[in-house]
Chains A and B, each alone.
Chain A
Amino acid sequence: MSSLLHRPALLPVVLFAGFAAVPLVATALEQPFWIAFFARILIYAMAASALNLALGYGGLVSFGHALFMGLGSYAVALPALHGIANGWVHLALCVGGSALVALAVGAISLRTSGMAFIMITLAFAQMGYFLFVSLKQYGGDDGLPVASTSQFGGFDLGSTLTLYVTALVALALVTWWMAKLRASPFGMALRGARQNARRINAIGLQARRLQLVAFVISGAICGLSGLLLANLNAFVSPSSLTWTVSGELIVMVVLGGIGTVLGPVIGALVFLGLEEWLKALTQHWMIIFGPLIVLMALVGRRGIVGLLDRWPRAPAGPASAAAPVATPPAASAATPGTATKGGL
């Protein structure tokens, strides 16, 4: 029994099992609103995971990831307006478009670092916002209803349940990949570049190129979350490209645990859950939320996953299961033979 609770894969299993149960529970309680609500959480969890690749693994403080979510959304609405409902076309435009824009933005922004990088990514997202606002024929400031949601053969992403299942599967795959990526050669090199770019160059890798590739992958996955969002809302608007959205994604990543695998998912869950709860209390919920974020910044950035790691370990506690998933897998690397090799 205790060995079961010690299994390192417990937290993600519990988390995703919980997500999977939502449609069943919601239908049983006759509260279908929750399916849409949790679908939104899944979508933002995916966007936050994408940002985590650039921000957490790569150390790139991008304040412009809303740009990619927005592009992904418009990649559905614009073709739909012109009569193209084929989901594969939407998907290709979404991923291709986001990746290309991420390549351009990343290539220019990575010529700077630190503060300048933050400001430039913010500026590029703002540029995207103004672009879509000024395109009056595509709704401009008022936004654009999605004429027809993405059709994949028999599947219509416009159906909330179909969307939910798709989002859940997509998030599970992305999370799995992020876990693998973290320990993969590319992931380790990227994380090395965050810790010490000079040394990465000195051992023969180009830190900037690693960061650019990470930024492009991050942008593409973030765009994908935008595609799902457009199908969920059946509506797109430039307001999804504002700096507030970019900021909220950063908060989700840091709140959950920056640089960890499950941090973005937990962060999105807690952020949106808290927002929903506060909204019910008062329409001026941001007056409470704002200072909470300031507090989070002042107190330090281990995030929720970090807190779980430090939880006093009872013999069969779930926290010990959380640790290996969340923290660098240092211990798991050891094999019996190496430790005894003779030294000087």
Chain B
Amino acid sequence: MTALPLILTVFVACAVEAVEALTIVLASGLTREWRSTFQGTAAALVVLGVVVAAIGPALTLLPLWVLRLVVGALLAIFGVQWLRKAILRAAGYKSLHDEASAYLREVAAAKSAAVTSRRGVRDWYAFTLSFKGVLLEGLEVVFIVLTFGANQHNLDAAVIGAAAAVIVVAATGIAVRAPLAKVPENAMKFAVGIMLTSFGIFWGAEGAGVAWPGNDAALLALVPVVALVSLGYTVLLRQRRPAVPVASVPHTSEEVTSS
């Protein structure tokens, strides 16, 4: 497999997470103060960098079948969870992720918190808000970079895809100074869920000892099949959905209410 599909998959997955992190950083910086916000962001990026530097090379030392079995299983589980949320959103059972409203919620919370200085940081709330936001969204990026990079023995390509996504999203955020509400985030999450699930199935089965028909070319069939099944489930759920707005659909299970 060439590096391009790897870079593109990691780029799209990381762009989605970067958009969510940017919303939190903007809410903190614009309503609190930028210096503490940048300190929190920088601290989170350092932690994430250390995680990649520590775990990345160690992963590539594992036997390939072990790596593919474990990483494939994790990716398939992780991918199906993304896909499940994306399908529930696309079918109208769960409200669409909206960066504009997420931004307003963060702004309201940031405005009501008191300003306290701690450990050389002027505004501890701004620091922790941006640190937690970037760290939590960034951990998903790290997971994707490590799993894809280690499996392809091309950690550099995965890091390039992730870094490009973070730079593009950060540059756009600085330019517009507003949450990137127009990014088709839900469609991107659907696409990422399809890619994560497909790669997870492919690598997991290989790790279990399977020889895919056509070897790597099987992925070219697997990705469209996963996409078709997901779209099929979306259509089925849309047809079954009661004719009420999303906001008034009864919250019958934990997943319908979680974001």
A binds B: no
